[in-house]
């Protein structure tokens, strides 16, 4: 019998989670392909074209293009831009920059969503620490994505890793449930208290996506209506994976395997 939860969370059967793997894999493929191109002198529009090529050739559709009016396949967020940066021919990556790339693909009606921050050539030591902390925070959050845990366990794990290094955790944006829609309930915050919040159950599929800032965690939207930037203009990092909660533990549906370029 089919039933609907009052909180809107859509529990996925094992067959549906299996079906989501293709969208996840293609999202990860696009992220890996874009990551391999990141270098001084390339424009974020070129990175966008690469991702679109990978997704379309892989039998999918870009999930972000047209979503809420977003104009591109990827979000490309440079330095103080945390998320939702719009790719542009005029944004040329420079040595010492960091760029957060977010890619999403739709296959068979299912959505995959993932992100990572890449170094452009050599970057400052402290920026490297920021990227490492954000990626480690994602791993810590994923480790808590278990039936019987609570949402606050994920948020607390993410927050602890980032704040331990003295960095900020963005509060105004969060991870999310994902399935046939890119953004489904529940909200997956990057901060929280252990043993609090929604009970995590088998069949939930969520995108966990820590956003870490070098300085203040305060952010604002720029005049383009999309880009989220740090208020102090210091750099930020963003890592994301789509994860299914199963009895066998967290199942990463976007298995990117990034060769660290820093
Ligand atoms: Mg997301």
CATH of the domain at 149: 3.90.230.10
Which of 181, 175, 151, 193 is closest to 83 using CA atoms? 175
Asked whether 138 and 210 are in contact (CB, 8 A), the reply is yes
What are 205's strand-pairing partners?
244
Model confidence pLDDT, tens digit, residues 235-251: 999 999 999 999 999 99
Residue 181 forms part of a structural domain: yes
Residue 257 forms part of a structural domain: no
Residues 106-127 have a mean pLDDT of: 98
Residue 37 forms part of a structural domain: yes
Residue 7 forms part of a structural domain: no
Residue 5 forms part of a structural domain: no
Residue 262 pLDDT? 57
This prediction has a pTM of: 0.97
Domain holding 84, by residue range, is: 14-252
Mean pLDDT score of the chain: 96
CA of 251 to the centre of ligand 1 (A): 16
Model confidence pLDDT, tens digit, residues 12-41: 999 999 999 999 999 999 999 999 999 999
CA of 113 to the centre of ligand 1 (A): 6
Distances (CA, A) of 146 to 95, 100, 164: 40, 27, 23
Residues with CB under 5 A from ligand 1 (ion): 113, 207
Residue 4 forms part of a structural domain: no
Q: Radius of gyration (Cα) for the chain, nearest Å?
A: 17
Q: Quickly state the pLDDT bin for 257 (edges 50, 70, 90).
A: confident
Residue 55 forms part of a structural domain: yes
Phi, psi of 76 (to 5 degrees): -125, 105
CA of 127 to the centre of ligand 1 (A): 22
Residue 102 forms part of a structural domain: yes
Where would I find the beta strands (DSSP E) of 68-183? 74-78, 81-83, 98-107, 110-119, 168-169, 175-177
| Structural domains counted in the chain | 1
Q: Quickly state the pLDDT bin for 4 (edges 50, 70, 90).
A: confident
């Amino acid at each position: 019998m089919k039933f609907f939860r009052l909180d809107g969370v859509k529990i996925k059967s094992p067959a549906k989670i299996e079906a989501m793997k293709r969208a996840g894999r293609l999202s990860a493929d696009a992220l890996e392909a874009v990551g391999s191109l990141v270098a001084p002198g390339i424009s974020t529009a070129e990175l966008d074209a690469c991702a679109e090529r990978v997704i379309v050739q892989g039998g999918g559709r870009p999930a972000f293009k047209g979503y809420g009016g977003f104009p591109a396949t990827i979000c490309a967020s440079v330095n103080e831009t945390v998320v939702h940066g719009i790719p542009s021919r005029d944004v040329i990556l420079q040595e010492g920059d960091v760029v957060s790339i977010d890619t999403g693909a739709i296959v068979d009606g299912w959505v995959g969503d993932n992100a990572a921050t890449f170094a452009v050539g050599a970057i400052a030591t402290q920026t490297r620490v920021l990227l490492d902390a954000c990626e480690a925070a994602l791993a810590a959050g994923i480790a808590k994505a278990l039936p019987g845990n609570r949402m606050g366990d994920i948020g607390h794990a993410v927050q602890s890793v980032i704040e331990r290094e003295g960095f900020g955790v963005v509060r105004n944006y969060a991870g999310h449930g994902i399935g046939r829609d890119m953004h489904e309930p529940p909200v997956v915050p990057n901060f929280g208290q252990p043993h609090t919040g929604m009970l995590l159950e088998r069949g939930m599929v969520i995108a966990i996506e820590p956003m870490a800032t070098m300085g203040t965690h305060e952010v604002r939207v720029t005049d383009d209506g999309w880009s989220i930037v740090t208020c102090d203009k210091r750099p930020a990092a963003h890592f994301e994976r789509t994860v299914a909660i199963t009895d066998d533990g967290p199942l990463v549906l976007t298995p990117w395997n990034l060769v660290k370029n820093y």
